[in-house]
Structure 1
Amino acid sequence: MVEKLLQSGLHWEKKEFRRYEFLKISGSTDTQIYFIEKGSVRIFMMDGDEERIIRFGYTGNMIVSLDSFLSGKPSDLYIQAIKKTTVHTASKKDFYTFVRSGEEPMAFWMATLEDLVQQQLEREKDLLINSPAERFDRVLKRSPQLFQEVPGKYIANYLRMSPETLSRLKKS
């Protein structure tokens, strides 16, 4: 459906981001939705001096700072390219006009939101599990592509463990 979305009447703007370049910074309002054509990004927030990665996006994913996109208010989240990344962006206004244009686009948006809620619930469960090995196993089963697309130091941060612990778990 995402490919259909790109070919729909919705206006998409193609943008390229260099490694470490920000798509969105903390304190800004996200009025864009992003489809990642190629590359990968991380979504994180700052906790004092520490980065806390909460989500990744890579080739074929739609991403957005959902709290800001839905509320129209600034978000604490950053979206940063992990490597050279090509995205297609659509404005919130254009996207919502498209979603309201028919049953199929509305069903797609509802399925996307349901999927995001399910992902968030799984993420919350992951954070409640004490064992690093269990967190690793859950994420590996759920998102094996993550380990191909994202450097280990970011995955370790996401899993709330040291890079050394992640390395040991990957070897075992």
Structure 2
Amino acid sequence: MKEIVALSNKTITINRNEFLKVKGSIDTNIYYVESGSLRIFVLDDYEEQTIRFGYKENIIVSLDSFLTEKPSDLFIQAIKKTIIKVITKQQIDFFLETESNRTLWTKILENLVIQQMEREIDILTNSPKERYERVLKRSPQLFQEIPNKHIANYMRMSPETLSRLKKS
């Protein structure tokens, strides 16, 4: 991943609640989070559904838009003041001209797919307790970086349920 981050020649700061990407926009950048935190969400009948988080030393991307170069329904919003490195699709394309870099890139994409599959399993798991335990085991840092209201939304439960689970 260091090789990908090293491609960046641009760092930006996003203030709390500011949007990095909004629904209907095309975003062909990959972002490496140096500090702060962000969330990726969709707006479903006026209700936000958080589907992913990014915090220190994470890559965050609107993967559908990055891959297709088409508009996406995703929003990316800063949860708190966030500093990110920007890696453009052009920088990635140039990087992928060597075989060893393509192998690294494949591993990064495979990791994203596995994370997405784990996320789908979390959503389909019936018990809030099971969902909480799975997420806690997989991403303990999440609970230090992200406010409970966003984690509860991500895990499809009320903030009160999450609070009870954390206490037990």
Q: Same fold (TM over 0.5)?
A: yes
Matched, 1:81 2:78: yes
* Matched-pair identity in %: 58
Superposed displacement of residue 130, structure 1: 1.1
Amino acid at match of 2:62: S
**Deviant stretches of 4+, over 6 Å:** none
SS of match in other structure, 1:97: helix
How far residue 60 of structure 1 moved from its aligned partner, in angstroms, is 0.4
Pairwise CA distance, 1:11:
4.2
SS at structure 2 position matched to 1:60: coil
Aligned to 1:27: 24
Write out aligned runs for 1:120-131 (5 A).
120-131=116-127
Correspondence for 1:65 among 59, 62, 67:
62
**C-alpha distance in 1 between matches for 2:91 and 2:3:** 16
Aligned to 2:2: 3
Aligned 1:159-170 pairs, distance under 5 A? 159-170=155-166
Residue 103 of structure 1 and its aligned partner are, at CA, apart by 2.8
CA deviation map 1:63-121 (0-9, x unaligned): 11001100111000000011010001021112111122x23321221111000110111
Q: 1:150 aligns with which of 142, 146, 153?
A: 146
For structure 2, which runs of at least 5 residues remain unmatched after alignment?
Answer: none
Q: Show the counterpart of 1:37.
A: 34
Is there any run of 5+ residues in structure 1 with no aligned partner, and where? none
* Matching residue's letter, 1:137: E
- Letter paired with 2:5: L
Q: Which whole-Å CA distance do the structure 1 matches of 2:21 and 2:157 have between them?
A: 26
Q: Equivalents in 1 of 2:160, 2:59: separation in Å?
A: 31
